[in-house]
Amino acid sequence: MSLLEVSELEARHGLLEAVRGVSLTLAEGETVALVGANGAGKTTLLRAIAGAHRPSGGRIGFDGEDITRLRAHQCVRRGISLVPEGRRLFGNLTVEENLLVAAQRRRQGHWTLERVLEAFPMLERLRRQRAATLSGGEQQATAIGRALISNPRLLLLDEVSLGLAPLAVDAVYASLATVIAHGATILLVEQDLTRALGLAERVICMLEGRFVLEGRREELTREQITDAYFGLGRAVEAAAP
């Protein structure tokens, strides 16, 4: 049985249908990259899975339980953690305090404060520094660490590399490789195709609220993914209503 099962999911922003009939399965320990241009519906899909956006149709199953109508805090208790675009840290708190806030409601598991600091070495020297003073890469590492310390069964990452300097992205992705090595299950939204292809086992391309291309990394060419990303060729036909 899959850890995550999304079936014919629909989600709206007012009259706009942002997610249209999407179905997705995710096995425990798998890393899947969700790629697509701005406005494709990727963030809305992640938020719906995390309980932060109420679906208008379809079903979300997690470890055999229907969680479609659960709220975000209820999804967190079941082991789903979302790292949103923009990080949303507590700026007046230190790195360590941001991590410890999440640790108060942690599930039992591998990730503790010290293990998070080991996985994200840049944070060890910054643990007493206020989050508002951190660079973008340091904030992103703190946000991912905050999600990890709750010991999620499913980690949802939205736009990991957005707005970060290349060296910062290198550091964050190196730490994510460590996280994956410890058996994390990850659904990753990423616009950088190179990063997505380097990390994920499976890639899904989303266009205008629908999946238009899906496959294992080794089965897809970069040209196929690029065409789907920009809605070229058969991808446009697949996305048409």
Q: Over the stretch 122-155, which tens digit does the pLDDT of each residue have?
A: 999 999 999 999 999 999 999 999 999 989 999 9
Query: The domain containing residue 117 runs over which residues?
Result: 4-239
Q: Is the separation of the CB atoms in 217 and 210 below 8 Å? A: no
CB atoms within 10 A of CB 196: 24
DSSP bridge pairs for 11: 19
For 15-61, the pLDDT digits (tens) are: 899 999 999 999 999 999 999 998 999 999 999 999 999 999 999 99
- Select the more confidently predicted residue: 41 or 161: 41
Q: Token digits for 118?
A: 């080991």
Count of domains observed in the chain: 1
| Confidence check: pLDDT of 240 > 50 | no
Side chain identity, residue 123: L
CATH number at residue 65: 3.40.50.300
Cα 205 from Cα 224, distance rounded (Å): 10
